[in-house]
Amino acid sequence: MRSAGTRATALGADRGPGRPGRLTGLDWARGLVALVLVGTESVLAPRPAQLVHAEWTGVTAYDLIFPLFVLLAGCGMALAYQNEVPARRTARQVLVLLLAGLAYNVATTAEVTWATFRVTGPLQVFAVLVLVIAPLHRVIRTARAWAVLTLLAAVGHAVALAAWAGRCGGELTPGCNPSRTIDGALFGAHMYAQGALGHDPEGVVAIAGAFVTAAAGVTAGHLVARYRRAPLAPLYLLAWAAGCFGAGAALAQWVEPMKRLWTPSFALTTAAAGILLVAVGLALHDGPAPAWWATVRVRLAVPLVAVGRNSLLVYFGSSAVLALLLRRGGEPSAAVRIADAVSRDGDPRLEFALLSVAAWWLLALVLHRWRIYVRA
């Protein structure tokens, strides 16, 4: 892990030789998504339908959060890899993310046994994306080229899933889908829920969809890098968001959107939402502005930028702490007891969620004050 004075990482761009400074709007967007994650994740059971993953097909609000992080990570990679990054640095980042992902699985698993220990996970998804996107940046270095790659990857993935669906009577199901076959063969009992649900949401098939989302983010990052100081810069992002949404809607005619397999239609439509968020952040915090607003917006951005610069810690730290609170301390769990203790005749679930957001927000502000940032 490293602090503020370091160079760019794959999940965000610090100032380095030949690189522009950080994008405030990108950190702002990361911070907003991270706080939404903490707030939604901390709502105790029974959770509203929109705050749980869709059982199979369809999309809920909760399904969007991780893909938004992937989109923003792709945008950060474009800024980080504007100059050539040594292979050893990429290798170190991949190794750190993989090891951190395995440690996260240990922390969030009630009973750890090697026979059923899960080896896939969200941090492992990031690791594979870095491993793929970093070398691709050596040959693909423009927004136009990345846009073409994004759309080709989406179409190719859709064709493959549609062909597989043809083997399943025309519809992908938990009992007949490529993740069940491919991830089951690769990971066996080490996959999500030991394979009992018939898929792995962070397995090889899902990573193919996550690459489409990340590549859309890389395209957005290159657009930002080229036009960040232009008054119409947000419009370029809006145009790319519209292109992603349109392509996603078209591909939905082949394979419907779902987070469980991270289908191409889901990958592109969620990417469009993330690109819109980046466009808003760019317009508010990085575009040309009168002197008075340029001064004011720096201060207004701090609360979310503080979280955004430590989004990796807030995202995965909050999830790990909540998992520990839910499974330890007997019945009711420690999380439920805390919720009851802080409740003031309201809804303990909501009050616990607000307390969680406040605690992680305060931690991020303190770390930002001391310029301490946890990154791969």
pLDDT in tens, 78-136: 999 887 788 899 999 999 999 999 999 998 887 889 999 999 999 999 999 999 999 99
* pTM attached to this predicted model: 0.93
* 265 belongs to a structural domain: yes
- Give the tens place of pLDDT for each residue, 256-276: 999 999 999 999 999 999 999
* 86 belongs to a structural domain: yes
- The chain-wide mean pLDDT, for the chain, equals 91
Q: Are 305 and 28 in contact (CB under 8 A)?
A: yes
* 330 belongs to a structural domain: no
* 358 belongs to a structural domain: no
- Can you tell me the distance from the alpha carbon of 169 to that of 373, in angstroms, rounded to the nearest whole number? 50
* 371 belongs to a structural domain: no
| Confidence category of residue 8, pLDDT binned at 50, 70, 90 | very low
- Give the tens place of pLDDT for each residue, 236-257: 999 999 999 999 999 999 999 9
* 213 belongs to a structural domain: yes
* 56 belongs to a structural domain: yes
* Of 254, 252, 250, residue with least CA distance to 162: 254
How many structural domains comprise the chain?
1
Provide the phi-psi class of 121: left if phi over 0, else alpha when psi is between -120 and 50, else beta: left
* Of 299, 281, 174, 307, residue with least CA distance to 228: 281
- Give the tens place of pLDDT for each residue, 41-87: 999 999 999 999 999 999 999 999 999 999 999 999 999 988 778 88
Model confidence at 12: pLDDT above 90:
no
pLDDT of 21 reads 62
Question: Comparing 8 with 308, which gets the higher pLDDT?
Answer: 308
| Confidence category of residue 346, pLDDT binned at 50, 70, 90 | confident
pLDDT of 328 reads 61
pLDDT of 221 reads 96
* 112 belongs to a structural domain: yes
Q: Are 318 and 356 in contact (CB under 8 A)?
A: yes
Q: Are 259 and 218 in contact (CB under 8 A)?
A: no
Widest CA span in the chain: 62
The residue segments making up the domain with residue 207 are 24-40+49-291
| Confidence category of residue 329, pLDDT binned at 50, 70, 90 | low
pLDDT of 13 reads 44
Provide the phi-psi class of 198: left if phi over 0, else alpha when psi is between -120 and 50, else beta: left
pLDDT of 327 reads 79
Cα-based distances in Å from 148 to 123, 154, 194, 239: 27, 10, 37, 14
| Confidence category of residue 225, pLDDT binned at 50, 70, 90 | very high
Calculate what percentage of the chain has a pLDDT beyond 90: 82
